Structure 1
């Protein structure tokens, strides 16, 4: 089964994107897979492949065999765009058997890749390619395989489009900053000394209302003096060496219930930055996973795994519940520990346990 969640997590998470070709291949029983996108048919900005072929073999393909790829050439036609095809519909077996790419590249490295499911996606100025492969002795791709991929091609195209719009330097520095406007909470990021670095649109709107929070000399301040004292104390605690732990305070406003401001520090390279999330009780999200995802820059899957770990779930139980390999869960946990700056489950529980429970479905 192809999980839509994993496709969209690949939009902002480099590690998930790198694994996506393997994920798609595994989902339909393919032996290998490759997908890439660019800003033109012959431009490749990013590539994900399953690792079945080595980096050296892929480099050889790029240098000597790209122009002889009769599968890719068959798909680069307008009438085939935005659909998944069994390539045998365009390239008969005899034509492939006689091709240079099969005889000199595939057979040249002792391989027997012989079947392909592929497609070209064009969306929002991006050109994406997908190829999933089986060996000569493996069964042909079925109509069900084609349909399973076709059902996901729209999501993959949107994922390509999102990645193409992200600023690459910002995205590689930390995906959290590149996705600020993709979350519903008001999010502020600050240097360790409290100077504002960035905020998303909901946070900017909150500052413009000036009914609870404001900026003075690029420092986040609470309008109520008592709240500001608590805010500055929380910011100093977050910037301390042990600052991975999260805390929360109330920020009162002129009308309505107070905001809940969740504050934590995150590591960016060798430095620490402070992240503050303002939650409006009038429009609150009862999902703890949603808030820890935003606060620590987790993917959706990582946030759900983190929440489950705090509830006492084990690795094998998570693997079965989520329908993913045990190694996938281990990788997600490794990423969670890195982003929350902890090294064991007890530390993770302490970090997340400090967050307030806001929704009707969570304990007050």
Structure 2
């Protein structure tokens, strides 16, 4: 007989992600374990996770140290395709277990190394993995304990899928709102692949084109390089990135913004890690300093320099006006070039000369 309180906690977590740690504690208790970790993975990396409170620091060290890529645990579990929980002895021979560095160098030194896991394929791609972790001194999990976990596995799967579908619906609603605001937008996976896109973006082919396997194509190699760099940098930063797109084929310049989704903005199962929004630009006499800061992530001093150059000033003239050395402004200008994707003052002035409030 399954404890109704355990099931209530599992289904509550589908609606309230903050309830997962408490639900995972209850799952661990069924297997005589210390705690449970729930994470989403494509087998190459863990994109999102939550855990019992006692395992938060362990999981931070696991993810931060890249241990998932060194372990055969998840690939073997998914490859086995068993519709229930499996233990180490289902996945490894004894000699293989002793040769896996994730056990010998990470789990065992922390007093862990036994447990059971199950996975649930997600509609957004990848899989949700429930990993029930047991202390080394407690020994391997018995078949009776695995059977108790198997009894709640259908409920864990339903809860994960409910949460995933609700997350996708929330994402679709957000895309539709941006569509009505005439803002081309897409929700991206952590590796830059498109999860959802609105109709406005589908029509913005002068700036963004779809490539195979959900990849994004931009109109220049420089813009493409900035995009890949921004996607990679977003995994360790909460800062937004902006990528300038030059005018082409009768279309004006535009800015492509990448905003990392963090905390409550990032659903555990929906799969979105980045919000991409395209803003088109039209002619105006001079760009506002606050606009430059917002569009290109410029510091106030970098924005002042960029605006001054756009107004026709020189490096020497701006240095005198701002009371700074020529060398300081040259250093700032290099940073402005890097952030705007330009390489010369003429390119910078040409780009900034087409800015006003985006629509």
Output the TM-score relative to the length of structure 2: 0.41
When normalised by structure 1's length, the TM-score is 0.41
Kindly name which structure, 1 or 2, has the bigger radius of gyration based on alpha carbons: 2
